[in-house]
Amino acid sequence: MNGSVNPTPPSTVHFHRTELGPIISLYGRMVAAGEWRDYGISALKDVAVFSIFRRAAEHPIYTIEKRPKLKDRQGMYSIVAMDGRILKRGSDLRAVLRVLERKLIKAVK
């Protein structure tokens, strides 16, 4: 016997509070503009995902992904559209979120 009844589960990737702040701020402004209605957060083995929905019962229109393994390559943050296209990728979360900020400006006009 190895003495371990419950082996430690594999670690998962999570968004930190400092990362969720700008995401939730943008989300709140888009909800106020009537563009977004719901969200979901997933913490998986290699990626943390913040999914954005126009309606609760559909596929996400955007996902904000954090993939730490890509930190030294393309950057660990990315915005992915519903069709799978990567709209923006980089190491600075706020810079990556600007692609969605522009959509907010268009929605308000």
pLDDT tens, 13-49? 999 999 999 999 999 999 999 889 999 999 999 999 9
Share of the chain above pLDDT 90, in %: 66
Name the residue with higher pLDDT: 106 or 21.
21
Task: List for the chain the helix, strand, coil content (%; round to 5).
Answer: 30, 25, 45
Assess whether pLDDT exceeds 50 at residue 1: no
Assess whether pLDDT exceeds 60 at residue 96: yes
Q: Residue 65: which H helix or E strand, with range?
A: strand 62-66
